[in-house]
Amino acid sequence: MGVTSILDKMRKARLRWFGHVKRRWHDARLKEMNMYAKQRSCVLNEDRLSGLPDDILIHILSLLPLKDAVKGICNASRRFHKLWPFIHTLNFDQCMFPEHDCDYYLEAGRPDYDKRFVHSVRHVLLRGKSPTNHKFCLKFHFRLSYSFWQRTSNSTGICQYYDFLRSEKRMANEIGTWIQFALNKNLEVLDLSFSEHGTVGPQALYDLPNCVLSSPHLVELRMTHCTINAKKKSKLKSLKTLYLNNVVLMDQSMDYILSGCPMLEELTLQLCYGHIRVVLLNSNLKTLKLDIGWFRQRIRVSCPTLLSLDMSGAVEVLDIANVASIAEVSVNCNLIFDFDVYKDYQGIKTFLQTFTGAKTLNLCSWFALNTLSWTHPYEFDADEYWNMVDSPVQCLTHHLKKVVVAGHVMKKQVIQFLEYLFEHFVVLEEMKIFAEKQK
């Protein structure tokens, strides 16, 4: 056998070996890819939720919108269907209800409620099995119109009047049972928002049940468009956050509420009406937000632990004292509807002099001033004011460390103000200037 034939056989054997190795590698790779595809398919089709404990599933359901927790997911599994009655967060929002027409109820001149929504609330509450409730939220079109219906001389009009009266009272009583149901389960967060579509005034709003002010487990209480008529000291010993929006406070209700909230840390009063006093001498209140609104009833504030005050509206109606601990003040002054502008400015001056220890002062964050019309005779030259100031402002030489200016920074008055700051500041560490965007 020649050398050539031996080399030829060796080459063929080597090729056969490489071909065999290549086929084995290809088969192994194909097998691996098929196995990966099967595993991926199993993962995609696997119901991992079903393997979770009931407590975790109930917590997940409680985070979902109620209509999804009750209908969408629950229909996919019998196990979910058995678990949803144990959810501890109940959020009933009539505007989010399927096919609900808010405009229809806005224009309705009579007591008219979405019966489907009411039936849904009843169904969920009747099926509820959770021993405790973390949160109960109700946003509902509730309008009391019977007080404003004119009795007519004909019998038909009188009968219609009393029909509306009975309908509204029945609905008010049922809402009270819903609230009581939630409170009986050691409720921590209560959020009640009734539609502002009703006529403005105490007689047009929902009367808050007294049981709400006697719930020792409430940590957060939020109420919008209702009337509070407290007759005795509240028992809200765990309450930390109180938010009142368009609430009518009858007689001494504010005093009764605050006297029973030793743990209160944050209080918001937005466009509320009535006798308002925030007097907390021994409390934990840290943040107070006030929006006075149109009716300028006087408001008294006395709280030695207060750290932050956010004030909107006419400051001259605010009697404030014993607030030496305040570190941050925000003032959003509404001068558009005032008739005595100079008097308002004097009120602002007196108001600001109260906060000698404040470290942060925010002015006019409520609106951007585009047009100012001064109609009162008063010798004041805004263009040259800062050039005429002789003595430096005390805070520039001792305390002021940060200044933020935003908006119309190219105005002559603003530039002069900035020049004055640069000439007189001593301890200033930081200044931020935000110009309005060019159109």
Top-confidence residue, 223 or 422: 223
Among 70-74, 297-301, 361-365, where is mean pLDDT lowest?
70-74
Joined tokens for residue 143: 């309008």
Residue 317, Cβ density class (10 Å: 0-12 exposed, 13-18 middle, ≥19 buried): middle
**What is the arrangement of strands in the sheet containing 299-302, beginning at the earlier edge strand?**
276-279, 299-302, 318-321
Q: How many residues belong to the chain?
A: 439
Say what the pLDDT of residue 138 is.
Answer: 94
Place 161 in a pLDDT band, splitting at 50, 70 and 90.
Answer: low
Among 106-110, 165-169, 291-295, 428-432, where is mean pLDDT lowest?
106-110
Say what the pLDDT of residue 76 is.
Answer: 57
pLDDT tens by residue, 189-217: 999 998 754 444 455 578 999 999 999 99
Point out which residues pair with 227 in neighbouring strands. 207, 248
Place 337 in a pLDDT band, splitting at 50, 70 and 90.
Answer: very low
Q: Is the pTM above the cut of 0.85?
A: no
Top-confidence residue, 378 or 160: 160
Say what the pLDDT of residue 111 is.
Answer: 53
Asked if the model's pLDDT at residue 19 lies above 60, the reply is: yes
Joined tokens for residue 313: 């509206």
CA distance 175 to 408: 50
Mean pLDDT of the chain: 76
Say what the pLDDT of residue 222 is.
Answer: 97
**246: alpha, beta or left, given left = phi > 0 and alpha = psi -120 to 50?**
left
What are the extents of the domains in the chain? 19-51, 52-372, 381-439
CA distance 129 to 125: 9
Asked if the model's pLDDT at residue 149 lies above 50, the reply is: no
pLDDT tens by residue, 172-182: 899 999 999 99
